[in-house]
Amino acid sequence: MRMKDKVALISGAAGGMGAATARLFAREGARAVVVADILDKEGAATVAEIEKAGGHASYIHLDVTDEAQWQAAVEKTVTSYGRLDVLVNNAGISGSAETDLYDTAAWDRLMGINATGVFLGMKYGIAAMKKSGGGSVINLSSISGIVGQGYLHVGYNASKGAVRLITKAGAAQHGRDGVRVNSVHPGLMPPMRTSGRTADPAMRAKTLKGVPMGRAGEVDEVAHAILFLASDDASYITGTELVVDGGWTAV
């Protein structure tokens, strides 16, 4: 029960890795998991599934680009459950749907959701954690925050690189507040809702050739990495980047 008594808020938790993490946190005894997303129906379904299995969860509408909504989501969590122990900044969009890899509107969208969305989460989440003596922030970057790819909008790499470094800045600034801040870097995973080229089976088969383990990852494999960083098992780990990519960036 590695999440026993902990209160967690997960952005983008209506599906994919966010929902897998919400389910795992609940199974690991979380006092409450707040599922936050812009997809209200899917988010409510994730909550219903968790509660049916005996866990504790609630849903909140949160567009991570909206500062007032972030403030309200963190306030609601603290009002409802007394504290915030774990924040997973998971919401994101893909850069692989863009054909013009220098499209300016796409740059703004990618940076707004993937980078500013994480910044705002840290701004309000860490302030709440400091009030109750500490906590753990896990930011979803990507291997695209470590190496470049020729087939993604440059804003995806830039936004995920920003997440990698605001994580380290957060770790440097809040270590003495008892707040740990780490990033997780998935590799080839099930396609995102917003994937374009990277969802194409031929493209995925080509990419797989560069993955030493010879297969794509599963959402639960990322959720377990997030769980480790969220839990007290990682009590002396902050500012690190945990790569979950089957060895892709090792070669």
Can you give the binding site for ligand NAD, defined by CB under 6 A? 11-12, 14-18, 37-39, 62-65, 90-93, 113, 140, 142, 186, 189-190, 192-194
CA gap 116, 109 in Å, rounded = 10
Closest distance to ligand NAD from the beta carbon of 178 (Å):
26
Q: At what angle do helices 117-131 and 67-81 cross, to 10 degrees?
A: 30
Closest distance to ligand NAD from the beta carbon of 139 (Å):
9
Helix (H, G, I), strand (E, B) or coil at 57: strand
Residue nearest to ligand NAD (CB): 16
Q: Which helix (H) or strand (E) holds 37?
A: strand 32-37
> Which string of DSSP letters, residue by residue, matches 103-141?
-HHHHHHHIIIIIIHHHHHHHHHHHHHHHTT-EEEEEE-
Which CB, 176 or 209, lies closer to ligand NAD?
209
Please report, in angstroms and rounded to a whole number, the separation of the first and last CA atoms in the chain: 36
Closest distance to ligand NAD from the beta carbon of 136 (Å):
17
Which CB, 16 or 161, lies closer to ligand NAD?
16
Which CB, 130 or 168, lies closer to ligand NAD?
168
Closest distance to ligand NAD from the beta carbon of 88 (Å):
9
Closest distance to ligand NAD from the beta carbon of 176 (Å):
28
Which CB, 21 or 136, lies closer to ligand NAD?
21
> How wide is the angle at C-alpha 184 spanned by C-alphas 94 and 18, nearest 5°?
60
DSSP state of 61: E
CA gap 165, 187 in Å, rounded = 18
Which CB, 14 or 162, lies closer to ligand NAD?
14
Cβ–Cβ < 8 Å for 43, 27: no
> Which residue, among 78, 68, 109, 72, has the nearest Cα to 91 in the 3D structure?
109
Closest distance to ligand NAD from the beta carbon of 236 (Å):
25
Active site residues: 156
Which CB, 134 or 190, lies closer to ligand NAD?
190
Residue 15 amino acid letter: G
CB-side exposure of 167: number of CA atoms within 13 Å? 32
